Structures are given as C-alpha cells and as structure tokens.
Structure 1
Amino acid sequence: MLRWRIATALILAPVVLGALLLGRWTVLALVLVVVALAAYELSQALNPLPFTAALGAGIFPVALTVPFGAGGVLGGVVLVLPWTLLCLAGRPEARTLRALLALMLMALWVGAPMAMAALIVRAEDGVILILIAVVGPWVSDSGAYFAGRLFGRHAMFPSLSPKKTIEGGLGGLVLTMGAVGVVGYYALGLSPLQAVLAGALVSVFSQSGDLFESLLKRMMEIKDLGNTLPGHGGMLDRIDSLLFTAPAVYYIFLLV
C-alpha cells in the first residue's frame, strides 16, 4: 500500500508543479478536472445522484471566480439551489433527501474550497501559498504516519479512524509547523511566531479534513469514495485534506 501511495504521489507532484509553472489558467483547468473526478466519485457512491447534477454543483463556485473573484464563490454555491431543482425535477428516482444533501455537500465541501485554491494562485506569492495548501497536508500526513508507527499508543478518534493516534497527530503537527514555518519566514516574510502558527493551523485543518471524510465514509458504510488513484482510493480520498487547507490558507495568508 505504501509503495502505491509513493508511486502515485510521484506522478501527481509533477502534474501539480507543472500546472503552477504554466500559470493560473492551467491551474484553473487542473482544478476543474479534479472537481469533475470528485463529482463522478460522489455520484457513484450516492447512486442515483446524477453525475451532471454533482458536476454543476462543484463547478459553479469555481467558474464564477473567473469574472467575480472571491464573491463568485458564494454566488456559485447559491446558484446550486436552482441547479438542483433543474436537475432533479425530471428525475423522480433521484428526488431524495440524500441526493439533495449530496449536492449541497458537493458545492460546500468540494466546489467552494477548490474555488479558493484557484483564487490563491492569482494572489501575490500565490505559487508559494498554493504549495503550502497542497504540500502542507502531505507533510502533515508523513509526520503523522511515521510518528504513529514509532510512538502511537493512544487512539485519537477510534470510532472514525482507528489507526490514527494522538502521538501521530502531534508528529504531523510538529513537522508541519517546522516545514511551513521555514517557508513562511523566509519566503513570505512572516514573523517566526506567525510562521509557526500558520504551520500549526495548516496541520490542524489538514487532519480535520481527513477525519471529516472518514466520518462521511462511516456514514455511507464504504471504504473508499473511489479507486482512480492506486494506493489512495479515489480523488476525494486524495484531496480530503486540501479541501480544508485551501480555505484555511486563503484566510490565514491573504486576509490576515
């Protein structure tokens, strides 16, 4: 499993870096691809949720950031309401509370955070910030994995993720504080305290995103939301932390 995770990461990393080097429109295209894969996985996991309905719910917040910036995120989420009516009106088999809530989830959990990821790239130092949002969870996961393997004794949330330990979580927190702290201090000009606190928040939100998806999978009684990425499950299993860290980075670095 670890071998497949590393191999997939080695493939994904150049794709992300290449998109960043090519500019904001390439990043936007990559974001739309990720949203489309996430919509497909969610529609399969929550059948008979129509794929087109899930796709629109995820894309609207991203698409509206192009002409309207940050205001487009909220506008896109609100637009999902009439879109839901349009998509489900002619599909009696899909008119369920589960499908309705899934579309709201797609907009709020996937669409809005990915829209913020697209916005981050457009900001000053945007490449560094999006790398913090993307790589920060990888650092946190690595620290948590190895600290958990070496020192893990106490389960963090056994009913959600039995393998996660408090010691592992602290290991991820410390490693991310160090990594993001160095980048924040030297590349972004933050004070040492600001840089370390930013790293701590990235790790906390990263681990929260992972636990949130674990909660969803427990509720749906499934192991993975997809199988498109060997060793990682599906796209949603890979970006679960990013969906929490992208908004965190947006507000921590751009607004504060």
Structure 2
Amino acid sequence: MAGLLPRGVSPRDRLVRCPLPAPRRGLEDHHRVLRRRFGTAAVLAPIVVGAIVLGGPYVVALVLLVTARASYELARALTLPYPAAFGAGALPVLLAVPFGTTGILAGVMLGLPWALFWLAGYPEARTLRAMLALMLMATWVGAPLAHVYLIGDQTNDLDGVYLVLIAVAGPWVSDSGAYFAGLLFGRHPLFPSLSPKKTIEGAIGGIVLTTAVVAPLANLLLDLPLWTSALAGVVISIVSQAGDLFESILKRLLGLKDLGRALPGHGGILDRIDSLLFTAPAVYYLYTLFLT
C-alpha cells in the first residue's frame, strides 16, 4: 500500500499532505466576481433606469457624466490632457441635442480642433498616442453615446424609453449569456489572440439569451413583428460582442488589463460601456432606417 503513495508520503499523513483539488478555488473566484458585479449593478441600475424614464436633460446629464469618466480613463491610459479628451467626447453629445445626427458629425469635426488647441499648451503630449486618444474620444466614445440621447429623442416618448432600455440592457444580457455559456460549455476559443477566455460556445450563448429576451420585449412593447424582434436581438448581441472585442484589442495594444477601476467587478467605465458604444448606434439606425 505504501508503494502506491508518492515518495515521502506515509499512509498516516497522506490526508494532510496531499493537495486538495483546485476547481473549488476557481468556483470561489467566479462567485466573488459575480458578487461584485451584481453589487455594482444594484447601485447603478436605479440611477440609469431613472434617467432613461425621465428622459431629455436627464439622459444628457447621465451621458455627459459617463463621457467625463471615460475621458479621464482614456486620457490617463494614453497620456493626454483631460480637457482635450473631454472636449472631444462631449461636443458630439452636446451638439446632438439641437441638431440630431448632423450635430454628432459636427461635434466630431469641431472636437478635434478643440483638442488640438489644448495640445498646443502641452508639448510633451504631442504624440501619436495623444492623437489616437482624441480620435477615439470623438468617434468611439462621444459619437456613440450621443446616439443614446437620440434614440429617446427621435421617437415618441414610450417607444424612446423602451428602445433606450433595450440598447442599454441588451449588452448586459448578451454579456451574461456569453459568460455563463462559456463557463458551462466553453471549449473552443473564439479569438484566442485577442481575448483568450472568450469561446465560440459563449458567443452563441450570448446571442441565444439576448434574442430570447429582446424578441418578446420588442414584440410586446414596440409592436414589432416577432421575426423582426428576433433579428434585432441577434444584431444587438453580435455588435455588443464586437464592441467588447474592440476594447480587448485596444487594451492589448496598450498593455493594460483594465482601463480603470471605477466599477468593482467590471473595471473602468469604458470596460462596462464598451458594448454599448456599438449597440446604441446599431439600435438607433436599425429602428430609424428599417423599423419606422
């Protein structure tokens, strides 16, 4: 019997000295992450939903607060003066209020000269990374977030509220479906060079759950045909996952794990809204171009 034990381990002390299996530690890590995520969501969800229901200036204020924090994270990551980053991101949002989609384009065009004006006073910030940050703030953050306001403003009151809620909640549903499907069934990497933990099974799970949630809601609340509502769910999940992968590419290029630590369990604000930055424009144009 003793010959079957590892060298140096006697029958008497085998229960003490043999290591315990590791899977339980992995489960505990997952549980800890989930607790943090749900805790953060419990705090933020009432604020976000309240602003969406109240609409108008409350949505603008919420979007500008998100833009301000995103500007801080990107300015810190890419060594850029904060006012330059915030201006490049905020102008598309502010000009979208009176001028709609034309204002978004104008804000992107005007945000870059504004940012360059600030860079003139910071010679050490005149780098390729700084220029990349300015372009990202205008086109990746400011312009997409402006569509969150437009979704509610360009439609009737109730439809606008429902659409914004779908645009904001859709990425969370997709992320949850992908997370649990990947945890339970994940075997085949999706893009291992970009995000090693993402799997094909997880991506499919995200699409399935998003479609299962969005299709009946859009059919019931927006009176859309069921097949159209299901298609919207598929599109929302696909662009949501594309937004997540885009940020993964950016963080890999910068050598960063997260762009911030503002939200426990999620990382920074950009780590939380990366999918929304792709989903909001998709929902807006899907509705205005094809569903009205």
1:227 alignment partner, SS class: coil
Q: How many residues get paired?
A: 255
Q: Report deviation, 1:219.
A: 0.2
1:53-111 alpha-carbon deviations (Å, 9 max, x no partner): 00000000000012211210000001122113211112110111110111011100000
% identical aligned pairs: 64
Are positions 1:115 and 2:149 aligned together?
Answer: no
Question: Which segments of 5 or more consecutive residues in structure 2 lack a partner in the other structure?
Answer: 1-32
User: Which of 216, 232, 249 is equivalent to 1:215?
Assistant: 249
For CA contacts below 8 A with separation 6 or more, give which structure has more relative contact order.
Answer: 1
Q: Which amino acid aligns with 2:77?
A: A
What is the CA–CA distance in structure 2 between the aligned matches of 1:94 and 1:143, rounded to whole Å? 41
CA contact (8 A) 1:73 1:115 kept: yes
Superposition map of 1:103-182 within 5 A: 103-122=134-153, 123-124=155-156, 125-182=159-216
CA contact (8 A) 1:80 1:104 kept: no
2:197 alignment partner, SS class: strand
Are positions 1:187 and 2:218 aligned together?
Answer: no
What is the CA–CA distance in structure 1 between the aligned matches of 2:180 and 2:116, rounded to whole Å? 47
1:223-249 alpha-carbon deviations (Å, 9 max, x no partner): 100001111100000100000000000
What is the CA–CA distance in structure 2 between the aligned matches of 1:206 and 1:176, rounded to whole Å? 10
Q: Residue 5 of structure 1 corresponds to which residue in structure 2?
A: 37
Q: Report deviation, 1:22.
A: 2.2
What is the CA–CA distance in structure 2 between the aligned matches of 1:149 and 1:41, rounded to whole Å? 29
Are positions 1:24 and 2:56 aligned together?
Answer: yes
CA contact (8 A) 2:55 2:161 kept: no
After alignment, is 14-23 or 128-137 more displaced? 14-23
Q: Which amino acid aligns with 2:50?
A: G
Q: Which amino acid aligns with 2:146?
A: A
Q: Report deviation, 1:192.
A: 1.6
Q: Residue 100 of structure 2 corresponds to which residue in structure 1?
A: 69
Are positions 1:253 and 2:287 aligned together?
Answer: yes
Q: Which amino acid aligns with 1:254?
A: T
CA contact (8 A) 1:84 1:100 kept: no
Q: Which amino acid aligns with 2:270?
A: L
1:186-245 alpha-carbon deviations (Å, 9 max, x no partner): 111111211111100000010001110010000000010000111110000010000000
Q: Which amino acid aligns with 1:89?
A: A
What is the CA–CA distance in structure 1 between the aligned matches of 2:247 and 2:105, rounded to whole Å? 23
1:69 alignment partner, SS class: helix
Q: Residue 18 of structure 2 corresponds to which residue in structure 1?
A: none
Consecutive aligned runs of 4 or more in structure 1 exceeding 4 Å deviation: none
Q: CA RMSD in A?
A: 0.9
What is the CA–CA distance in structure 2 between the aligned matches of 1:20 and 1:52, rounded to whole Å? 27
Q: Residue 242 of structure 1 corresponds to which residue in structure 2?
A: 276
1:145-204 alpha-carbon deviations (Å, 9 max, x no partner): 111111110000111111110001000101111111111111111112111111000000
CA contact (8 A) 2:112 2:138 kept: no
Q: Report deviation, 1:3.
A: 0.9
TM-score, length-normalised on structure 2? 0.86
What is the CA–CA distance in structure 1 between the aligned matches of 2:128 and 2:49, rounded to whole Å? 40
Q: Residue 235 of structure 2 corresponds to which residue in structure 1?
A: 201
Question: Which segments of 5 or more consecutive residues in structure 1 lack a partner in the other structure?
Answer: none
Q: Residue 120 of structure 2 corresponds to which residue in structure 1?
A: 89
2:259 alignment partner, SS class: coil
